[in-house]
Amino acid sequence: MRRVLAVILAGGASERLSVLAAERAKPAVPFGGKYRIIDFTLSNCANSGIYNVAVLTQFNPRSLAQHVGVGRPWDMDRESGGIVMLQPFLSRSQRNWYKGTADAVYQNLYYIIDQRVDEILVLSADHIYSMRYDQMLASHRNRQADVSVAVYEVPHEETSRFGIITLDHNERIVNFEEKPKAAKSRLASMGIYIFNKKVLIDALEETSGSETGYDFGHDVLPGLISKYQVFGFRFRGYWRDVGTVEAYWQANMDLIADLPELNLYNPENEIRTIVQGYPPAKLGPHATINRALICNGAIVNGTVIDSIISPRVFIEEDAVVKDSIIFEDTTVGRGTVIEKCIIDKQVWVSRGCYIGSGDDFTPNKEEPDYLSTGITLVGKGTRIPSEVTIGRNCKIEPRVEASDFLTKTVESGETVKSKSPRRYQI
């Protein structure tokens, strides 16, 4: 795999993840208690023997860059190859912000041209899956393909969310439709591409120039089908696009199933991340746990049901956390009930609160398209005063103070904002 360069697209903003991506890039959003979303793509590279990796960043890159670092958890801190972070830049050639997935790679063609590789593996950093890219590369070479695209079968009702691909009997791609209303196939592009190096360079140079947007699926791939040998590679494992709050929440909940489709415990396909030296999780004398992931450093004295508890979370006695995801360094006060919520880092929930209360599923008034399935979000660094009731589909923005809650009840679909100038923690 030394003749392969992996290019990971990790620069996109994500309005659909609401406050979870307000202060961090989408690939840096915590997942499964101890991971970040990008860990899955980086681990897939490491498990496939690919250690020459370029990560293309743009939106809110600080926490992502800090997490990836020199790539040590993925064995990418190497003198030859290794990991490099590439950001947009200005120069005499008038480079600018990336305007789509293909434009991001095009603006970094200088780096790709300098690499002594045969193939470019283009990956997205915002999907949850475990995949051996070396198997896809073997298929690509055996078929003498110019381009290979990973495809995944999705339910018919979801085809309008994806680029849909049609294969012939030889698995060659014969048609591509970007988010069709009436799809001819159920095979969705996973946003994973293998290009022979020269083919990628020629294709990007021929199709570049759009001022509004320039993507692989919409602008590059359709024109390659009739010109080159373009094949599909069927992936039959677990794969989820966690681009919405509902999809993100559901993918987390999938991990606590009795027999989860995504096996985090398989040593042959280990999902790697930064290892923190936290003490073991501690369960108090009155703790009750049912189908949950409890990470190191957490202390649980209350009840946790069908939930994911991140490191250094403190749940006091008589508190109940159900169907929820609690990020690192959050405290849940005595007697508080949290139901179907996602609570970000460093949140303080005081005693006697009820978050995710009631049967009113009114969509969020500010984000009705993103918050409409009953999930309530609490942003990073927020402090919720005692005995506050917060309904469904609510959004509590980052760094809200107790004084920002004007009443003890936040109705379903409402948003609470900070009235103070935003203060960023170092």
pLDDT in tens, 257-268: 999 999 999 888
Return the pLDDT at 14.
Answer: 80
Are 60 and 188 members of one domain? yes
Verify that 250 and 383 share a domain, yes or no: no
Q: In terms of domains, do 205 and 121 share one? A: yes
Evaluate whether residue 397 is within a structural domain.
yes
Label residue 425 by pLDDT band (50, 70, 90).
very low
**230 and 325 co-located in one domain:** no
Q: Write down the pLDDT at residue 421.
A: 60
Cα separation, 116 vs 140, whole angstroms? 19
Amino acid 167: pLDDT = 96
- Whether 171 and 107 map to the same domain: the answer is yes
The confidence band for 79, taking pLDDT boundaries of 50, 70 and 90, is confident
Structure confidence at residue 371 (pLDDT): 97
Quick one: 222 and 305 in the same domain?
no
Read off the pLDDT of residues 146-203 as tens digits, 9 standing for 90 and up. Answer: 999 999 999 998 898 899 999 999 999 999 998 898 888 999 999 999 999 999 999 9
Judged against a pLDDT cut of 70, whether residue 426 lies above it is answered with: no
**Res. 90 pLDDT band, cuts 50 70 90:** low
Residue 259 belongs to some domain of the structure: no
User: Does some domain include residue 260?
Assistant: no
β-strand pairing of 389-390 with 409-410: parallel
pLDDT above 70 for 309: yes
Residue 104 lies in a domain: yes
The parent domain of residue 194 ranges over 4-254
**DSSP per residue over 356-425, as a string?**
S-SS--PPPSS-TTTS-SS-EEE-TT-EEPTT-EE-TT-EE-TT--GGG--SSEE-TT-EE---SPP---
Q: Does 95 fall in a domain?
A: yes
79 vs 339: which has the higher pLDDT = 339
Give the C-alpha separation, 222 to 179, whole Å.
13
* Percentage of residues of the chain with pLDDT beyond 90: 81
Per-residue burial over 1-25, b = 16 or more CB atoms within 10 Å of its CB, e = otherwise? beebbbbbbbbbebebbbbbbbbbb
In this prediction the pTM is 0.94
In angstroms, the Cα distances linking 378 to 99, 212, 333, 407 are: 30, 33, 15, 17
pLDDT band at 81 (very low <50, low <70, confident <90, very high): confident
Is the residue at 267 inside a domain?
A: no
Contact 399, 379 (CB under 8 A): yes
169 and 115 both lie in a single domain: yes
Residue 97 tokens, joined: 């912000």
Q: What is the pLDDT of residue 161?
A: 85
Name residues whose C-beta falls within 8 Å of residue 302's C-beta, 6 or more positions apart in sequence.
286, 287, 288, 315, 316, 317, 318, 319, 320, 321, 332, 334
* pLDDT of res. 235: 97
Domain boundary, last residue among 254, 287, 309: 254
**250 falls in which pLDDT band (50, 70, 90)?**
very high
> Looking at the structure, do residues 299 and 219 belong to the same domain, yes or no?
no
Please check whether residues 159 and 234 belong to one and the same domain: yes
Position with higher pLDDT, 349 vs 243: 349
Task: Clarify whether residues 118 and 201 are in a common domain.
Answer: yes
Percent of the chain with pLDDT over 70: 96
| Dihedral over alpha carbons 202, 208, 214, 217 (to 10 degrees) | -30
What is the C-alpha separation between 378 and 398, in angstroms, rounded? 7
CA separation for the pair 198, 64 (Å, rounded)? 30
User: Is the pLDDT confidence value at 94 over 70?
Assistant: no
**Rounded mean pLDDT, 102-108:** 91
The pLDDT of residue 33 is 96
What pLDDT score was predicted for residue 196?
98
Domain boundary among 220, 254, 288: 254
**Which residue has 């790679």 as its token pair?**
105
Are 130 and 195 found together in one domain? yes
User: What CATH number does the domain containing 8 carry?
Assistant: 3.90.550.10
Mean pLDDT of the region 287-315: 98
- Residue 398 confidence (pLDDT) above 90: yes
Q: Which of the 8 DSSP states describes residue 110?
A: H
Overall domain count for the chain: 2
Tell me whether residue 271 is in a domain: no
Do 313 and 219 fall within a single domain? no
pLDDT exceeds 80 at position 57: yes
Does residue 133 lie within any of the structural domains?
A: yes
At 332-386, the pLDDT tens digits run 999 999 999 999 999 999 999 999 999 999 999 999 999 999 999 999 999 999 9
In whole angstroms, what is the distance from residue 403 CA to residue 418 CA?
9
Which CATH number characterizes residue 284's domain? 2.160.10.10
What pLDDT shows up at residue 211? 61
Chosen domain end from 190, 220, 254: 254
